[in-house]
Amino acid sequence: MLADIKKVVIDREKCKGCKLCTTVCPVSILTISEEINSHGYHPSEVTDQSDCISCGQCYRICPDVAITIYKED
């Protein structure tokens, strides 16, 4: 059931695909999507939510405030 919990949520419409989040993720679960958002950018996406450690590095580096982090209680 924990695998169904989203720890990292990326707003695909805000993301401009700068790749900064992919460079700071210590568990390498962020990548650039092959799909294009409505602004013509390839946004970041999470490859495996269950591997996320909710460290917040991606949230802190995102210049577009497109990432939200959730931590388990």
The Cα–Cα gap between 41 and 23 comes to 18
Give per-residue pLDDT as tens, 29-51: 999 999 999 999 999 999 999 99
10-27 per-position pLDDT tens digit: 999 999 999 999 999 999
Q: Is residue 4's pLDDT more than 70?
A: no
Whether pLDDT at 73 is above 70: no
* Structural domain range at position 6: 2-69
Residue 43 has a pLDDT of 98
Where residue 30 sits, what CATH number does that domain have?
3.30.70.20
Instruction: Tell me the helices (H) and strands (E) count for the chain, helix number first.
Output: 2, 4
pTM of the model: 0.86
Contacts of 56 (CB under 8 A, 6+ apart): 69
How many domains are there within the chain? 1
What b/e string do you get for 11-41 counting C-beta neighbours within 10 Å, with b at 16 or more?
ebeebbbbebbbeebeeebbebbeeebeeeb
